[in-house]
Each structure stands twice: as structure tokens, then as C-alpha cells.
A and B are shown apart, each in its own frame.
Chain A
Amino acid sequence: MGTIGATLIRAGRRFLSSLPALFGVLVFTFLLMRVLPGDPAVFFASGPSAGKEEIEVVRKQLGLDRSLPEQLGIYLYDVGRGNLGRSMMTGQPVAKDLQQRLPASLELTLTALVIALIAAVPLGVLAALRPNSLIDHGVRLFCSLGVCVPTFVSGLLLIYVFYYLLGLAPDPTGRIDVFASVPPARTGFLMVDFLLAGDVEGWWAAARQLTLPAFTMALFVIAPLARITRASMLVSLGSDFVRTARSIGLSRWQIVVTYALRNAILPVITIAGIVFSTMLGANVLVEKVFSWPGVASYALDALLVSDYAPVQGFVLLMASIFVAVNLLVDVLYGIADPRATAA
């Protein structure tokens, strides 16, 4: 009970301390919008041919005739009400567009994260168990190469091998075949929605579609995760409590997993925030390569036709997710290491 309370207090305190950064993010995104090329009033008026008076009217409507601090206030008020402006491309409110497309991005990113963790932690542990062995060198080589291959290149090469050469992967465009029936959207996560609808065939098709992009993204972050797991496992395996555990004759599994790994996992949690930042960035590239209908490809499409409200909304959304993830990482850290909460 006491621990849960302490964790909650810690979470609350961390949330409060992340508020200034979040406010900074809002101001920064606002300023970015203000330096965007072109006069939004001209843009929103019926076109370049619009008369001067017409532009002035639009300027008033958009609040662009007011002072900068006033405009910032209006912007903060709008964001607070969930109003992120309107996209010219889709004609819909940006918030609604983002909401519709966010599940696709999250499904991809989370799947990739799970794949990366499942691959990286055992790899790091194996390498640490036998330092300088063949496995260790193999893992090190893989890690060194893994951070060097750009996500967009590895994605395209995976398409070449698994779609063109082997024919194992489906056509690498989008989340689902164009002609396939979409399950009723309950969560927005296709994998979950297909299961809820009891459509096994559809689930399989969606899973196949998801595999390549998720692996592409996972490949890029396996390296840092495996590397840090290896380093902290080495420290933990060399420590006194592992020697003690060994001397009293505990099983190997118990020593490695219960004793060493549990202590070694803390640094892995710490860099999870950085890894997630990398993934949100890589997400942009992977969505582009696989025509994945997520928030990033939405922002990219908007960017190419100079439709800035979606880009701004996207940046704000990514930063907010990132702040939230850092908060979560912090709380998890407190749970994994009670000392951090006590301090």
C-alpha cells in the first residue's frame, strides 16, 4: 500500500515537473507556425487572386491582426479545447484526422517495440553470459551494423527480399488489402478489431501486412537495446550478490533471470525513452516506405502541398506522446527500483 502511494506521489510530481517542458513545446510549435513561409491570410482567402479587403477580413477572422502574445493565448485556448485547425487537404478538423490515423501509427510502433525487446534482451543477455565468444562478437557486429543502416533502406531491402524475391510478404502498401473488408472499428487497432469481430482470416492478412514495417522499425532499435542490456548484464553478473547466489547453488536460470537480469534491466528502462524518440522519428520514414496510413504519412502528405495545420498538429502530438512516454518510463523506473521512489 505504502509503495503504491509513493509511486502515485512520484508520478504526480513527475507530471508537474514535465508541465514546463510541455508548455515550452506548445510555445515552440506556435512559433514554428508563425515563421512558416507565406501569409496564412492570403492562403486561407479564396486564392492569390483575392482582393485586399478580402484578405484583411480573413486576417481578422484568423486573429492575425492581434499582437503575438494575444495570438499565443488564442492558440493555447484552441489547443486546450482540442481545436488544432482545419486541414485544407482533407477538409476536416486536424484533430479528427489525427484521431482517425493515430491507431495505425501506434499499432505499428508498439508492435515494433515489442519485437525489438523480445529480440534485444535475450541477445544482450547471451552476449554478456559469454563475453568475447562467437555469440558476443556476432551480437556486437549486428549492433554496429544495425545503427548504420537507415530505416528507409532496410525497409526497402526487406520488401525486395520478402515481397519480390521470396513472395512471402503481401503487397507492401497500407495496413490491409484495398478490397478486403474492414472490421467494425472499436479500438482502431486492426489486429484487435479483427479478433473482436472473430475474423481469423482478416486478422492473418492484417498481421502479414504489419510484419515487414514492424520488423523494419524494430531492426533499428534492437542495436541500442541489446548493447545496453549486454553492458548492464556484465556489471550485474560480476557483482557480489550473483557470486553469492552461485555459491549457495541456485539454478543457472534463477541466477541469470531472477537475480542478474532483474538488476540489469534498470538501465534498459532508462534508455527506453531515447529509443522511443528514435522510433517516433523512424515511424515517419517507415510509414512513407510502406504507405502506412498513420499520422506521419498524413503530415508528410500535408507538408508536400503546403498544408501546415496538420504538420503542426502532428508535431504537437508527437511531442505530447514523447513527454507522456518519458513520464511512464519514470514511473516504471520507480516501480522497478524502489530506491528511486524513496529518494
Chain B
Amino acid sequence: MSLTATSSGLRHTMWVLRGNPVTAIAGAAAILLALVAIFGPMLVPYDPVASDVPRALQPPSALHWAGTDQLGRDVFSRLIVATRLDLAIAVTAVSVSFVIGAVIGSLCGYVGGKLDRAVGRFVDVLMAFPLFVLAMAMVAALGNRVENIVIATAIINLPFYIRFARAEVNIRRNLGWVEAARACGDGHVSVVLRFLLPNVLPAMAVQMSLNLGWAILNAAGLSFIGLGVKPPTPEWGIMVAEGARFISTGRWWLVSFPGLALMLAVLCFNLLGDGLRDILDPRMRT
């Protein structure tokens, strides 16, 4: 990409952002989330796993902004520290399925034939499961660990990326500029990697942002039902699960704050994904 293309792209992005403040806010929120994930653990006022039983189950106050849990741990500190783990799980899972899905999908779209049919069948089988149930079964089978939450979340995301990359490559593989590349002596691998994939990546990146929110919900759901993350590790899903026991006695802060954190993170990535789609592909604007 030449310099002028980059700067005009940047200018276009700024123009779109000005016209679409929601995307700008979502982008800023995403950056803030990333900063919290990186620096949060250094800045929190309390140790997220240190219990202080005399101060258990206190409602939010000036000392404890989001109250304390059943062991007297500071909910606000735990929320902040949990950001890193929650984001890391979602980002890793989505990146893994993005890379694998892009490679497999574009191969299928380019080669076609038996490989395409075989992968198609595999994708059909994955899609025949309710996806959350499939993730649950995989974590149960592979072992109750955080890595396996990542793997399970990556696998249930995989069909979408494979299908997407396959379709996009398939409609392009016989276009003029691809034939030109082949005529110039480019091998198949080079054609796929240097010409086809770069054309598909932007649209897939949008998909990635939209999927991040979904991945966060899935991972939190899995840890809510007791899979993957183990207490006392701070994680939003498990914090809700621990707070659930106290909701019928009115301790609302144990559930609301981690719930709010989850909601904001998902909302931020969803809005960002919608906005990115508008910037990259104005036709799909709704």
C-alpha cells in the first residue's frame, strides 16, 4: 500500500468517525479496555485475592467502590484485574480461529474439489451442534482448564471464518488480476497469500471485532457454569457465579458490577465492529 493510499485512507477514516461519533466512542472505549487490561493490575487499590472476612459483603462505599464479596475482597479491584484474563481469552480465541479459518477457508475456495467438500462436511457437523453446548462438551472432554476454554471458543468460531474466507476467495479466484498474477509466473501459494488473502482480510477483521463480543460472552458463560477458570482467580463470569448465591438476599453489587463490565466490553466491540464495517464497506451500511 502506498503512502498516499494510507493517508487518504486515514483521512477517510477520520471523516467517517466524525460523521459517526458512536464508532469513535466505541474505539476509544476499546483502547481504554486494552489499557485497563495492561496496566490495571498495577493500579488497583486492593489485592484482588486478599480476603478480609470482617469486611465481607459490604455494599459500595467510598472505600470499596463496588463493595466487597463474601470473603471481604474488593469487587472493584477484582473487576479491573479480571479485564486482562477476559480480554486475553476472547482475543486469543478469535485470533486463533481467524488465522486457521482464513488459511483453511481460502485454500478451500482456491482449490475446491475434494478438499472443499471434506471441509464443508466438517463445518456442517460443527454447525449441527448448538454452539455453546459444543463448547461446553469440548471443555469437559479436553479438561477443565483456561487453555481449553480458548480452544473451545476458537473451534466454535471456526465455521464462520472458514465459510467467509472460502466464499470471498472463491468469487475472486478467476478474476482478471488473479489470472494476471498466475500468468506472471506466481505459484498457487503465492497467489493465495499475496493476492487473494490481502483482499479478504479487511472484511474478516470486521468479523473479528463483531466476534470478540460473542467470544467474551461465551467464555464468561463457560466459567459461570464452573468450567475453565477456577476461583479465586478474578474473572467476570466466575464473579457473577459467586455473587449469584447472594442475589436473593439483596447483595446486588456482586452480580451487577461484573455484569456491567461484561455488557460494556461486549457493547464496545459490537459497536466498533459495526462502525468498522461502515468504514470498510459503505454498501453494507444499515
Q: Which residues of A contact B (CB under 8 A)?
A: 18, 20-22, 24-25, 27-29, 32-33, 35-37, 144-145, 147-154, 156-157, 159-160, 163-165, 171-172, 231, 276-278, 280-282, 284-285, 288-289, 299-300, 303-304, 308, 311-312, 314-315, 318-319, 322-323, 326
Given contacts A21-B124, A300-B226, A231 and B263 within 8 Å (CB-CB): no
Residue contact B141 to A35, C-beta cutoff 8 Å: yes
Q: Which residues of A contact B205 (CB under 8 A)?
A: none
- B226 contacts A319, CB within 8 Å? no
- Out of B136, B248, B262, name the residue touching A150 (CB < 8 Å): B262
The distance in angstroms between the C-alpha atoms of A159 and B271, with both chains bound, is 29
Contact of B244 among A156, A312, A315 (CB under 8 A): A156
A160–B252 CB distance below 8 A = yes
Q: Which residues of A contact B142 (CB under 8 A)?
A: 35
| Cβ of B2 under 8 Å from chain A | no
Assuming the contacts A156-B247, A281-B132, asked whether A37 and B263 have C-beta atoms less than 8 A apart, the reply is: no
Q: Within the assembled complex, what's the spacing in Å between the Cα atoms of A28 and B132? A: 15
Q: A residues within 8 A CB of B184?
A: none
B259 within 8 A of A: yes
Q: Is there an interface contact between A323 and B128, defined as CB atoms closer than 8 Å?
A: yes
Chain B contacts for A280, CB-based, 8 A: 130, 132-133
Q: Across the interface, do B267 and A315 meet the contact criterion of CB distance under 8 Å? A: no
Given contact pairs A32-B137, A36-B141, A311-B140, A172 touches B248 in the complex (Cβ within 8 A): yes
The 30 sampled A-B contact pairs (Cβ below 8 Å) are A21-B127, A28-B125, A32-B137, A32-B141, A148-B266, A150-B220, A150-B221, A150-B237, A150-B240, A150-B262, A152-B244, A153-B262, A156-B240, A157-B252, A157-B259, A160-B250, A160-B255, A164-B247, A231-B286, A278-B130, A278-B132, A281-B131, A284-B132, A284-B133, A284-B221, A288-B224, A304-B226, A315-B133, A319-B128, A322-B129
Give the residues in chain A near B227, CB-CB below 8 Å: 303
Given A144-B271, A278-B130, A319-B133, 17 extra CB contacts under 8 A:
A21-B127, A24-B125, A32-B137, A32-B140, A36-B141, A145-B267, A147-B270, A153-B240, A153-B259, A153-B262, A164-B249, A280-B133, A288-B224, A300-B226, A311-B137, A322-B128, A322-B129
Q: What does DSSP make chain B's interface, helix, strand, loop or mixed? A: helix
Please tell me if the beta carbons of A157 and B213 are within 8 angstroms of each other in the complex: no
- Least CB separation from A171: chain B residue: B248
B130 and A319 within 8 A (CB): yes
Question: How far apart are the CA atoms of A20 and B128 in the complex, in Å?
Answer: 10
Chain B residues whose C-beta falls within 8 Å of the C-beta of A315 in the assembled complex: 129, 133-134, 136-137
